[in-house]
């Protein structure tokens, strides 16, 4: 009698059983996929790979890999979806409308992908460069894997989905197979992330190292407003510090700064509406509302320092891009991630009353760009920018200079 081999027989040294023992003999970490959302016997038992096999028939890995007759590199076992990088295309083959993970398809806007870390925009070059670790032999090593367009790992490759996610391990802090055996709803601490984002968004600050100084400041919502939620209804306890303001997926429509909340009103510039969404009467920052905040828009300010230089004071065009000649907005003076200028340190861990030497100011006044035009008045004008004293006529409506559009 002729016997059709299957995954338990076929002369295999170890049966390819439900705990993926065969593959685990050499790929231990990958076998932790068993019992997670990527064990399709749990989340999509009827799904078939290219060979028309379900996971029940061919084992947990077979949903994505086959050892023979694979579809291109990575021993891939199924068709792929859209994506500039082969790995992104692998994910979107399932995470897409009408596919097995349609409930978790990503509408975007998403975190920048399919570019190399050192192709970051000028203002982020310095920060993201520190993501590369130079070892003693002057070789570049990265903490998270980067990929060629074809999906191979390479130290100077692109950021793409598996840069932040390891599809095989549900919870980076629990080395072992998933145990729930049901479809879990992920959060910032699991979701197949390479590093947990709880509580302090450590995944994000692996690359955005300087932004880690936000911890313990007035912009750490776990300290000043733990109950507040972003547009996806997540608190920072569920999704990490950064999530109060930024989202890696499904951010605010135009994708500007990957914004994770509804922008406010009171300014015609979107970069100011980011701040004004919270610093408003009905916002999370309602205890700290400023009304006099507009520098005359008709004044075009030029910056001699190049973008990316430590001394560059960001000035913006109407679209919110940092430029060499543009207007002064909130972020020209405030760096929302660092409590005090020149002090690269985390905050004190409790709500703090700001002064004109802290308050997330970007520069000590000595370094500011006001002097070119305001000369001797510039220190006063900078330090008391929101106060009536630095405004014409004490900020009264009648004597406002003509450039002050929209000034309350
Ligand atoms: C839901 C899909 C999926 C399942 C199920 C899956 N993998 Fe993967 N695997 C991927 C993707 C996508 C990549 C490429 C991304 C990467 O390198 O991290 C990959 C990469 C790999 C790699 C090469 C990179 C590395 O981590 O060393 C190995 C080895 C691997 N998988 C083994 C396995 C084994 C063994 C199983 C079953 C126990 C399995 N995979 C189950 C999607 C899957
Ligand atoms: C005897 C050890 C061994 C066993 C058992 C084994 N593998 Fe591998 N596998 C390897 C080695 C070695 C590589 C090459 C690793 C490398 O290139 O870094 C590899 C590579 C891979 C890759 C990546 C291929 C690529 O092109 O990047 C995948 C996916 C993979 N194996 C899946 C599996 C699956 C699924 C099973 C179980 C059916 C399995 N392996 C069983 C040793 C093994
Ligand atoms: C074989 C199909 C398949 C592939 C390929 C695949 N996934 Fe999934 N993934 C699923 C399914 C099914 C779920 C469970 C969806 C649900 O909850 O309804 C899931 C769940 C997830 C979740 C957890 C969502 C949550 O919070 O519940 C994440 C994160 C995820 N996948 C990321 C990825 C990434 C990143 C890739 C590519 C590197 C990828 N997946 C490739 C099928 C796939
Ligand atoms: C810069 C890092 C980063 C990159 C790149 C990235 N992700 Fe994510 N992803 C995250 C984080 C962080 C979360 C967890 C969000 C949370 O706190 O719930 C997440 C969550 C998810 C989820 C679950 C969403 C939900 O609604 O529950 C899916 C699915 C997912 N990612 C798939 C992908 C795919 C597919 C790609 C590539 C197109 C990708 N991710 C690229 C960081 C990233
Ligand atoms: C692998 C490194 C890496 C990780 C991890 C990472 N980022 Fe980024 N991020 C970058 C790079 C590089 C850029 C610049 C891309 C560009 O300029 O096109 C960037 C850009 C951004 C931007 C600016 C987007 C814009 O439109 O200008 C924001 C906001 C951001 N990241 C937030 C996050 C958050 C939040 C996380 C965690 C969920 C995160 N990043 C994780 C590397 C990373
Ligand atoms: C309270 C709100 C808030 C929180 C929390 C927050 N940010 Fe931001 N972030 C902003 C605002 C506003 C901007 C735009 C102004 C600017 O460029 O500084 C921004 C800009 C950025 C940029 C783009 C900078 C550039 O030069 O274009 C990155 C990257 C970024 N944030 C990363 C992070 C990371 C990582 C975290 C968590 C550790 C984080 N942010 C937490 C408000 C926040
Ligand atoms: C020209 C520089 C400059 C600009 C532009 C600017 N600020 Fe300020 N801001 C300051 C200074 C200086 C302080 C510190 C005042 C003090 O505490 O004495 C301050 C303080 C604040 C405070 C704390 C007020 C309080 O009551 O303690 C908030 C909130 C604030 N700014 C928000 C904003 C927002 C929102 C914008 C844009 C819509 C903005 N700022 C634009 C310089 C500026
Ligand atoms: C997620 C909501 C949120 C966003 C977005 C946000 N803030 Fe805040 N901010 C807060 C909260 C909450 C506090 C603490 C207020 C308190 O003391 O009760 C705060 C505190 C401050 C303070 C210190 C006030 C003091 O004197 O104690 C300044 C200055 C400030 N924010 C400026 C800004 C600027 C400028 C932006 C935009 C670049 C911004 N914030 C964006 C929520 C936000
Ligand atoms: C390119 C020249 C230029 C630069 C640079 C500049 N300003 Fe001005 N500023 C002006 C002009 C012009 C006016 C309107 C005429 C006036 O009131 O003097 C003005 C007005 C003001 C006002 C009064 C607004 C009112 O309502 O009456 C303040 C306050 C102010 N600037 C602060 C600053 C600060 C702080 C800086 C540095 C961050 C700065 N300016 C940089 C040209 C400049």
pLDDT in tens, 321-366: 999 999 999 999 999 999 999 999 999 999 999 999 999 999 988 6
For the CA atoms of 357, 362, 365, 368, the dihedral, rounded to the nearest 10 degrees, stands at -170
Residue 81 lies in a domain: yes
Residue 179 or residue 13, greater confidence:
179
Contact 370, 381 (CB under 8 A): yes
Global pTM reads 0.95
CA 39 to ligand 8 center in whole angstroms: 43
Number of domains in the chain: 1
Q: Is the pLDDT of residue 129 over 50?
A: yes
For ligand 9, atom 3, the nearest C-alpha belongs to 373
| Across 50-60, average pLDDT | 93
CA 34 to ligand 7 center in whole angstroms: 52
Q: Is the pLDDT of residue 160 over 60?
A: yes
Residue 1 lies in a domain: no
Q: Is the pLDDT of residue 196 over 70?
A: yes
For ligand 9, atom 19, the nearest C-alpha belongs to 296
Q: How far apart are CA 247 and CA 258, in angstroms?
A: 6
pLDDT at 406: 36
Q: Is the pLDDT of residue 295 over 60?
A: yes
Closest ligand 4 atom to the C-alpha of 163?
5
**Ligand 8 near 241 CB (within 6 A):** no
HEC-encoded secondary structure of 189-208: CCCCECCCCCCCCHHHHHHC
Closest CA to 7 of 46, 56, 48, 58: 58
CA 194 to ligand 1 center in whole angstroms: 14
Q: Return the structure tokens found at 185.
A: 């709803």
Closest ligand 2 atom to the C-alpha of 62?
35
Q: Is the pLDDT of residue 175 over 90?
A: no
Residue 85 lies in a domain: yes
pLDDT in tens, 215-241: 999 999 999 999 999 999 999 999 999
Residue 72 or residue 47, greater confidence:
47
Residue 142 lies in a domain: no
Contact 151, 71 (CB under 8 A): no
Q: How far apart are CA 41 and CA 100, in angstroms?
A: 12
pLDDT at 34: 95
CB atoms inside a 10 Å sphere around CB 292: 16
Closest ligand 7 atom to the C-alpha of 275?
35
Q: How far apart are CA 202 and CA 172, in angstroms?
A: 12
pLDDT at 403: 39
Residue 87 lies in a domain: yes
121-130: long-range pairs with CB below 8 Å, 24+: 121/322, 122/306, 122/307, 122/308, 122/322, 123/307, 123/308, 123/312, 123/314, 123/322, 124/208, 125/308, 126/308, 126/310, 127/207, 127/208, 127/209, 127/210, 127/211, 128/207, 128/208, 130/209
Residue 92 lies in a domain: yes
Domain that holds residue 94: 21-104
User: Where residue 396 falls among pLDDT bands split at 50, 70, 90?
Assistant: very low
Q: How far apart are CA 82 and CA 189, in angstroms?
A: 27
**Ligand 9 near 361 CB (within 6 A):** no
**Ligand 2 near 27 CB (within 6 A):** yes
For ligand 2, atom 42, the nearest C-alpha belongs to 26
pLDDT at 252: 96
Return the minimum-mean-pLDDT range out of 131-140, 161-170, 182-191, 301-310: 131-140
Task: For residue 223, give the 3-state DSSP assignment.
Answer: helix
**Ligand 6 near 124 CB (within 6 A):** yes
Residue 6 lies in a domain: no
- Name the pairing type of β-strands 325-326 and 322-323: unpaired
Return the minimum-mean-pLDDT range out of 6-20, 21-35, 366-380: 6-20
Task: Output the average pLDDT for the chain.
Answer: 90
Closest ligand 4 atom to the C-alpha of 243?
17
Strand segments, DSSP code E, in 184-318 are 301-302, 315-316
Closest ligand 4 atom to the C-alpha of 185?
27
CA 91 to ligand 2 center in whole angstroms: 20
Tell me the CA end-to-end span of the chain in Å, nearest whole number: 90
For ligand 6, atom 1, the nearest C-alpha belongs to 219
Residue 37 lies in a domain: yes
What's the full length of the chain, in residues?
408
**Ligand 8 near 386 CB (within 6 A):** no
User: Where residue 407 falls among pLDDT bands split at 50, 70, 90?
Assistant: very low
């Amino acid at each position: 009698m002729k016997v059709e081999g299957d995954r338990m027989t076929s002369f295999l040294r170890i049966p390819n059983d439900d705990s993926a023992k065969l593959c685990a003999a050499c790929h231990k970490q990958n076998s932790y996929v068993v019992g997670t959302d990527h064990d399709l016997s749990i989340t999509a038992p009827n799904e078939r790979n290219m060979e028309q096999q379900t996971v029940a028939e061919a084992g947990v890995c077979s949903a994505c890999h086959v050892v023979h007759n694979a579809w291109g590199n990575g021993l891939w076992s199924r068709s792929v979806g859209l994506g500039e990088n082969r790995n992104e295309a692998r994910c979107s083959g399932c995470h897409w409308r009408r596919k097995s993970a349609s409930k978790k398809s990503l509408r975007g806007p998403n975190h920048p992908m399919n570019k190399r870390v050192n192709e970051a925009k000028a203002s982020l070059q310095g920060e993201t460069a520190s993501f590369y670790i130079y070892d003693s032999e002057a070789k570049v090593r990265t903490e998270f894997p980067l990929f060629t367009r074809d999906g191979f790992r390479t130290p100077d490759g692109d950021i793409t989905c598996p840069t932040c996610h390891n599809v095989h391990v549900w919870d980076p802090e629990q080395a072992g197979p998933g145990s729930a055996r049901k479809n879990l709803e992920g959060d910032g601490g699991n979701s197949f992330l390479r590093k947990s984002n709880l509580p302090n968004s450590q995944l994000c600050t692996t690359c955005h190292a300087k932004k880690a100084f936000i911890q313990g400041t007035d912009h750490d919502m776990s300290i000043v407003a733990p109950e507040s939620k972003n547009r996806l209804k997540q608190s920072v306890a569920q999704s990490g510090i950064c999530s109060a303001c930024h989202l890696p997926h499904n951010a605010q429509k135009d994708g500007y700064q990957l914004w994770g909340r509804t922008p406010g009103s009171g300014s015609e510039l979107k970069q100011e509406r980011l701040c004004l969404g919270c610093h408003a009467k009905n916002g999370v920052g309602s205890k700290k509302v400023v009304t006099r905040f507009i520098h005359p828009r008709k004044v075009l300010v030029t910056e001699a320092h190049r973008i990316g230089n430590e001394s560059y004071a960001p000035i913006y065009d109407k679209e919110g891009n940092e430029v060499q000649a543009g207007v002064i907005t909130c972020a020209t003076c405030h760096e929302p991630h660092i409590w005090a200028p020149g002090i690269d340190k985390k905050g004190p861990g409790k709500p703090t009353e700001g002064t004109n030497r802290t308050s997330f100011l970007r520069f000590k006044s000595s370094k500011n760009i006001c002097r070119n035009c305001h000369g001797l008045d510039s220190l006063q004008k900078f330090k008391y920018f929101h106060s009536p004293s630095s405004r014409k006529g004490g900020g009264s409506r009648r004597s406002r200079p003509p450039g002050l559009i929209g000034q309350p």
